Amino acid sequence: MSAAREPLRRVAVVGAGQVGVLAAIAIKRASPATDVLVVGTPIDPVAFADHIGTALPFTNRLHDRLGVGEEALVRRAGASHRLAMRYTGWAGPGSIGLTAYGGAVDPKLNSAFAREWGGGAHKAAGGAPAGSVGAALAEAGRFMPPGGEAPSPLAEVDYALRWNAPAYRDLLIGIAAQLGVRHHPGPVSAVQTTLDGGIAAIQLAGSDAVAADLLVDASGTAALLSAAQPDRRWIDWRGALPARSLAVAPPAAPRLDLADTIAFTDAGWCWEQAGRDGVTRFLAVPDDVSDAAVEAALGAPPADRFPIDAGRQEQPWTGNVVAIGDAAARFEPLAGVALDLAHRQIDLLLDLFPGRAIDPRERAEYNRRFALMADGARDWIASHYAAPAAAHRLAALERSPALDRMLDQFARRQRLPITEEATVSTSEWAALLHALGVPAQRSALSLAEGEASGRRAAAALDRKVAAALDAAPPYGAWIAHVLREG
Amino acid sequence: MSGGSKIRIVVLGGGTAGWMSASALAKLLGPRVTVTLIESEDIGIVGVGEATLPHIRGFVERLGIDEADFMRATHATYKLGIDFRDFGRIGESYIHPFGTFGEKVAGVPFHHYWLELAARGMAGPIGDYSLAVEAAKANRFAPPAEDDSLRSTYGYAYQFDATLFGPYLRDFALPLGVTRIEGLVTEVRQDAESGDVTALKLADGREIAGDIFVDCSGFRSLMLGATLGEDWEDWSHWLPCDRAAAMPTAHVDQEIAPYTTAVAMPAGWRWRIPLQHRMGNGYVFASAFLSEDEACEAIRAAASGDRLAEPRVLRFRPGRRRRSWSRNVVGVGLASGFLEPLESTSLYLAQIAITYLIELFPTGGRIDARDRDEFNRLIDMEYDRIRDFLILHYHATTRDDAPFWDHVRTMTVPDTLERKLELWREAGRVELYSEGLFYDASWIAVYLGQGVVPERHDPRAAIPDPGRMCGAMDALKAAIAGEVAAMPGHRAYLTARAERLAAAP
């Protein structure tokens, strides 16, 4: 008969940013008897997953599971909801496309009729109605998260949260401490490797060596533990992702907005993250862009500028060390995708939660699935560069066979092949490409169906939008209400 | 195939795959295509696949066919899964349900808790925790709920007479404008330059021209194999069964099992598929280990009920064409590949090929090579995933009572399956994928059902108090028993909906 694996006795998480602390919470919740130690490391400002306070809708589910309450985030970490992304200038000068989160987009809305009627890329003055409930709410500035009880017209609206990163980290630290996660300020002064490529113990400043069954390398781009392992290999993504640095503007005055904006500029994409504690602009700059152009695109001289060496670890779990976040993969941190991938890694570790003895097959399965996830995230970002303005501005980029296939299928018939372990659903991906203004023809099936089904889907959406607008208060009023109640 | 004019589709073969293709293409692409189907009364149909998978419901619904009408025409019964007997070991059996076992708790799949309790002798067979399994065993049926309740944890398919399904779809397709041509193809005409098929020449001299040809000519694979010479990838070293001796019998009693039975035999296995008025029986066997006469004798001896016909032997080979879409010819059904009916996948494979053909159908005047590649990529993935799952049924055995079982038990399996097996054995985990057929519940059913018990399971399954876990499992079992008790018997359910029933023969 089968026997339960001997549980992990001690896990050391190296790196105390928002990635490392959440990983520690996840492990402690999964296995309360395990001694979980978080070790501080020098702050790595280039670790985007640790410093940018937003992710994607997936994170809400992970937070729920780990007891990180949304209400606490709103009250104590400045959290606000993002229902949609607004893409400006991607189809060409003056173009605007809005795309909402959520898989509930009716594929029939991809027909030419429905697209021209709603959604898709428009000229700024077009004033066409939105292509999904989320987009309509974002445009109207109305929303509140649906309660669990009665069926709500807002129930199928999905959203991402943005928050104040230091406040969020403090909140996580509070939860971790309550769970009994231990903390050591670090730093790690030395590591003891094992013959089979793992790490037996870490030497901490001012204390004895700490042995651990499993180590989580959440130390950012320094990848302190991974760097000590000779078997690590790095896969270079620079051919697929053109940005070589990230310029960050000084924070601007707070603003509530249910959508963030990503503009395509000659100096790269510029993401403006709205928020209750300030608005931040991030500019992902390719090579050969002048400082003046960066400043012009950003609207101010950058407060910071970080290099981006895009790529990922071939085997993020090597020996008994799992690298997560920027220690495992680095890329343009477009609108929450950096932290999303880190959170997916934490979730994957929970899926394949190891015992004291690391099983090589389980580790291989983790690495197999991570590779699909990370490559999917890379392709998701890279697909933005298929937008007409980006394709015009930048030299041809390398594309994975999967992305090549997707863009070709989309262009010729709006069909999106399934990407296993992808960051977004195929319907969200299709909505993105429409919002970016990537030209697409109709499929034989859609042409044979004619316009009636698209018209019906559009009319059904119309009714849903009306019901949702009716049910949702102005977002600012809802936030004020929550803060008052708190 | 010039712009503006309709694309001419020619379907060769009037079996199940042929009429499935013609109906779906005419129904879904109607205004853009003409569909002609060539069949010959001189060529019999194989009629594989009396048992189906839940996906068939999507096909029937998409065509706008009424379930009751379809069930009456094909003498269909409901199916909740397959009962496998004597596969892992003689005397043992399990049901592979169209449903799940328990639920994830605290992020840990149910089967880890089950393994923990089973090791302590505190759990019943895993099937006790599946509503589909328990309903099947009790010969009961009701359609699943569409909420998140226990009653939503299963699906269903049909057991029907495949020789009636083709003709039923023919009657459906002809009013949609499908042209049926009776005739024997004597020559496949090709364009001298491109090699594309241009027309099929019939024995009476007629030539049927087309733009896209769908090869549903069965194992003859007249266009894809014989004309275009697409390579055949042979899988008989992994799946040695290459014959079936089929024989219908009368029902022995009033019960109709809402499941198919597969009983392992010395040189293969035999099916029992209950239809409305008869029982389908057949012995799927490996000719290297058993002669056709011996197989016919064996099925005569094993099948209960009055014999309605003498055994009929079907011959097949497991494997697939390297490319199912080549030039302007798309293979659907046996012309493209064959996997034995152990998991009722034949009609699914035809259906999925038709689905992808429609999704990737050319819009303009010509076929794009990229669409062909995409079609072949998807079809290969479907075949390969099913192949591994089928091989598991043979390989995961302790049987050493016959040379056939010695062979399959000791053979080298594909690396892709070996990896899955090792992950399961070492850690109790199922390799995850979301595309293709057979997800974790199916793998778990077969692994555990055939005695492949992991050495270790998730450490988190040992955290809760065993007594409390046992209480929760018992509560689930009781809830399932309550649901099963509330379901009508399968025959009673059908009888109460007489519009589904064909007249007795």
Q: What is the rounded average pLDDT of the residues A92-99?
A: 92
Contacting A residues, span 25-54, partner chain B, CB-CB under 8 Å: 30-33
Mean pLDDT lowest among A311-315, A370-374, A393-397, B468-472: A393-397
How is chain A split among helix, strand and coil, in percent rounded to 5?
A: 40, 20, 40
Range of the domain at A24: 1-53+164-234+313-358
CA distance to partner chain B, nearest, from residue A402 (Å):
11
pLDDT tens sequence across A400-438: 999 999 999 999 998 888 888 888 888 889 889 999 999
Which pair of tokens denotes residue B343? 């998991």
Residue list for the binding site of B for L-tryptophan? 343
pLDDT at A130 exceeding the cut of 70: no
pLDDT given for residue A105 in this prediction: 53
- For residue B364, give the chain A residue with the closest CA: A444
Question: For A347, which residue in chain B has the nearest alpha carbon?
Answer: B107
- Write the DSSP assignment of B432-493 as a string of letters: --SSSS--HHHHHHHHHHTT---SEE-GGGGSS-HHHHHHHHHHHHHHHHHHHHHSPBHHHH
pLDDT for position A150 = 67
In chain A, how many domains are there? Answer: 1
Query: Which pLDDT belongs to residue B45?
Result: 67
Residue B386 burial by Cβ neighbours in a 10 Å radius (0-12, 13-18, 19+):
buried
Distance CA A133, CA A131 (A): 7
Q: Considering only CB atoms, which chain A residues are within 8 Å of B455?
A: 2-3
Tokens standing for residue B20? 């499935």
| Contact check, Cβ <8 Å, B460/A359 | no
Instruction: Report CB contact under 8 Å: A30, B460.
Output: yes
Q: Tens digits of per-residue pLDDT, B262-291?
A: 999 999 999 999 999 999 999 999 999 999
Is residue A375 within a helix (H) or strand (E), and if so which, with residue range? Answer: helix A360-384
Q: Determine whether A439 is exposed, middle or buried from the number of CB atoms within 10 Å of its CB (0-12, 13-18, 19+).
A: exposed
Using CB atoms, pick whichever of A3, A8, A405 lies closest to residue B119: A3
Residue of A nearest to B455 (CA): A2
CATH number at residue A208: 3.50.50.60
Is it true that the peptide bond before A187 is cis, omega within 30 degrees of 0? yes
For all residues of chain A together, what is the average pLDDT? 91
Distance CA A454, CA A107 (A): 9
Evaluate whether residue A302 is within a structural domain.
no
Backbone angles phi, psi at A310, to 5 degrees: -65, 135
Query: Are the beta carbons of B119 and A2 separated by less than 8 Å?
Result: yes
pLDDT digits (tens, 9 = 90+) for B173-208: 999 999 999 999 999 999 999 999 999 999 999 999
Which two tokens mark A308? Answer: 């981006």
Report the DSSP pairing between strands B260-265 and B81-85. parallel
Residue A76, chain B, CB below 8 Å: the answer is no
B122: phi then psi, degrees, rounded to nearest 5:
-110, 10
Closest CB to A405 among B374, B419, B461? B374
Q: Among candidates A97, A303, A212, A357, which has minimal Cα distance to B459?
A: A357
Q: Which residues of chain B does A7 touch, with a Cβ-Cβ cutoff of 8 Å?
A: 459-460, 462-463
pLDDT at A251 over 70: yes
pLDDT at A117 over 60: no
The reply to whether B27 belongs to the active site is no
| pLDDT value of residue A29 | 97
Q: Report the relative pairing of strands B7-12 and B157-159 from DSSP bridges.
A: unpaired
A to B CB pairs, distance under 8 Å: 126
Residues of B in contact with A371 (CB under 8 A): none
Residue A193 lies in a domain: yes
The answer to whether residue A390 sits within a structural domain is no
A367 within domain boundaries? no
pLDDT at A261 over 60: yes
- Please choose, from the candidates B81, B87, B76, B56, the residue with its C-alpha nearest in 3D space to the C-alpha of residue B138: B81
A401 shares contact with chain B (CB less than 8 Å): no
Q: Taking a C-beta distance cutoff of 8 angstroms, is the pair B332, B215 a contact?
A: yes
Q: B450 vs chain A: nearest CA distance in angstroms?
A: 14
pLDDT in tens, A345-374: 999 999 999 999 999 999 999 999 999 999
Q: Looking at residue B222, what DSSP letter applies? A: I
User: What span, in angstroms and rounded, lies between the C-alpha atoms of B248 and A478?
Assistant: 68
Q: Per the domain annotation, does A100 fall within a domain?
A: no
> Could you tell me if residue A23 is inside a domain?
yes
Whether pLDDT at A259 is above 70? yes
pLDDT in the model for residue A107:
55
Which of B477, B478, B466, B481 minimizes the C-alpha distance to B115?
A: B466
Among residues A74, A58, A68, which one has the least CA distance to residue A143? A74
Asked if residue A44 is part of any domain, the answer here is: yes
Q: Is residue A125 part of a domain?
A: no
Token pair in block for residue A447: 């042409």
For chain B, say whether A353 makes contact (Cβ under 8 Å): yes
Range scoring the smallest mean pLDDT among A98-107, A257-266, B172-181, B444-453: A98-107
Q: Which of B279, B202, B213 is nearest to B246 (CA)?
A: B279
| Nearest chain B Cα distance for residue A6, angstroms | 6
Query: Which residues of A fall within a CB distance of 8 Å from B106?
Result: 30
Q: Flag whether pLDDT at A112 surpasses 70.
A: no
Chain centroid to Cα A145, Å, comes to 20
Question: Per-domain residue ranges for chain B?
Answer: 7-44+162-232+321-384, 102-131+141-152+398-486, 243-315
Which of the following is catalytic: B6, B27, B79, B201?
B79
pLDDT at A116 over 70: no
Q: What is the pLDDT of residues A19-36, one digit of tens each?
A: 999 999 999 999 999 999
Q: Cβ distance B39 to B10 under 8 Å?
A: no
CB contact under 8 A, B374 and A417: yes
The low-confidence residues of chain B, meaning pLDDT below 70, are: 1-4, 45-49
- Using the predicted structure, report yes or no on whether residue A124 has a pLDDT greater than 60: no
What is the third-level CATH fold of B7-44+162-232+321-384? FAD/NAD(P)-binding domain (3.50.50)
Q: Is B148 exposed, middle or buried (0-12, 13-18, 19+ CB in 10 A)?
A: exposed
Chain A partners within 8 Å of B374 (Cβ): 405, 409, 417
